[in-house]
Structure 1
Amino acid sequence: MSKTVRAKFKVDEVTDYGYGAKRVKLSAVYSHDRNSEDNQFSQATPSGQIEMMVTNPDALEFIQPGKSYYVDFSEAKN
């Protein structure tokens, strides 16, 4: 059984380069409210950034600035 680590990131910026590719910048979600889900994630991933270039039209439609997304990490085979 493989392990998965889940983090929660918010889309801070989407930059359209005009040729079908967009740069997406995300940052780890945090909260000081002990009762919120975001606080639970901020204890595990208190800070972090992800930056990626996206060309998939469905993904570009799905990823929206200001929204938060779960990011799941699982080990990849080499």
Structure 2
Amino acid sequence: MSTTRAKFVCNSITEQMGSKPGPDGKWEPCVMKSVSLSPVYGNGDPKHENTKFWQATPSGRLELGVINLEAAAMFVPGKEYYLDISEAESS
């Protein structure tokens, strides 16, 4: 199985109300972080890593709604992240 690596930058994080299943199975309100990411930009240096990623993926967007606040804490606007993408088996 092959894997493709992309490099994205976090553009913004906003907070809103979401919902999650509670201990009794009923939905309950919770805080949700909306994380917006886009591919990194090339910087004009053909040897720079971001330029190489930008040449392969010059546009796109990834939006995540995260209710696991510990996981959401890893995202910081302006920081860059690798996204490793591989095919998943259908369930």
Q: Same fold (TM over 0.5)?
A: yes
TM-score, normalization by structure 2: 0.79
> What's the CA shift for 1:9?
0.4
| Identical counterparts, % of pairs | 44
SS for the counterpart of 2:65 is: strand
4+ residue segments displaced more than 2 Å: none
> What's the CA shift for 1:46?
1.1
Task: Report the residue type matching 2:9 in the other structure.
Answer: K
> What's the CA shift for 1:74?
0.2
Residue in 1 that maps onto 2:31: 20
Give the Cα separation in 2 of the matches to 1:20 and 1:28. Answer: 27
Alignment of 1:1-78 (within 5 A): 2-18=1-17, 19-31=30-42, 32-78=44-90
Give the Cα separation in 1 of the matches to 2:45 and 2:58. Answer: 14
**Structure (1 or 2) with the greater helix fraction:** 1
Query: In the comparison of the two structures, how many residue pairs are matched?
Result: 77
TM-score, normalization by structure 1: 0.90
**Structure (1 or 2) with the greater strand fraction:** 2
- Give the conservation status (yes or no) of the 8 Å contact 2:33–2:69: no
SS for the counterpart of 1:20 is: strand
Deviations 1:47-71 (A, max 9, x none): 1110110111221111111111001
Task: Report the residue type matching 1:62 in the other structure.
Answer: M
Unaligned segments of structure 2, at least 5 residues: 18-29
